[in-house]
């Protein structure tokens, strides 16, 4: 018997307004690579989303069809970046250029087997550097209390600062 419970979640928006505020934390491991995926297949995009978000209640894109994903990824303002270790998929981030000149780190995370090794610091550094390289006038993201406990400390240590918080309810 499945029991549904409702919990209150806090979503926090964070931003970086100057590239000089980035406190970079890069891995010097040559096996770690972060590369753009200009032609990300819908099935692989879905795999990344499901596997990275599995423990954090990422559900908004689960109903997307392959056609929805292809249409979304074909938008000029969207880019997907893959982190690998010795060729094995370790994590990803998605950037979204906004009309106001900002860049959102829309999705960001590691696959479960790569957590707890400091790779999130490296991936966030790469995402932030890429957003600035893409011409952002501000880089922003959001996290919530359903995310990994290491997420918020990582964002703060890299130089992001909260600018807005909101509460909402989720059925689990």
Model confidence, pTM: 0.94
Residue 99's pLDDT is 97
Which pLDDT band, with edges at 50, 70 and 90, does 170 fall under?
confident
Distance CA 122, CA 24 (A): 8
CATH 3.40.630.30 fits 6-171, yes or no: yes
113: left (phi over 0), alpha (psi -120 to 50) or beta: alpha
- Which tens digit of pLDDT belongs to each residue from 51-99? 999 889 888 999 999 999 999 999 999 999 999 999 999 999 999 999 9
Residue 5's pLDDT is 87
Average pLDDT over every residue of 11-32: 96
Residue boundaries of the structural domains of the chain: 6-171
Distance CA 84, CA 105 (A): 19
Under DSSP, the state recorded for 74 is T
Which pLDDT band, with edges at 50, 70 and 90, does 3 fall under?
confident
Residue 132's pLDDT is 98
């Amino acid at each position: 018997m499945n029991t549904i419970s409702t919990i209150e979640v806090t979503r926090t928006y964070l931003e970086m307004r100057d590239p000089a505020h980035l406190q970079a934390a890069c891995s010097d491991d040559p096996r770690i690579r972060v590369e753009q995926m200009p032609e990300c297949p819908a099935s692989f995009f879905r795999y990344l989303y499901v596997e990275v978000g599995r423990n954090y209640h990422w559900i908004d894109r689960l109903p997307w069809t392959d056609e929805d994903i292809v249409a979304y990824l074909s938008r000029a303002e969207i880019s997907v970046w893959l982190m690998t270790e010795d060729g094995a998929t370790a994590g990803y981030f998605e950037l979204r250029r906004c009309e106001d000149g900002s860049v959102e780190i829309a999705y960001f995370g590691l696959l479960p087997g790569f957590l707890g090794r400091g790779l999130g610091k490296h991936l966030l550094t790469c995402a932030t550097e890429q957003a600035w390289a893409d011409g952002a006038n501000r880089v922003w993201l959001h996290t919530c209390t359903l995310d990994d406990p290491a997420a918020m400390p990582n964002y703060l240590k890299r130089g992001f600062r909260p600018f807005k918080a909101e509460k909402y309810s989720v059925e689990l």
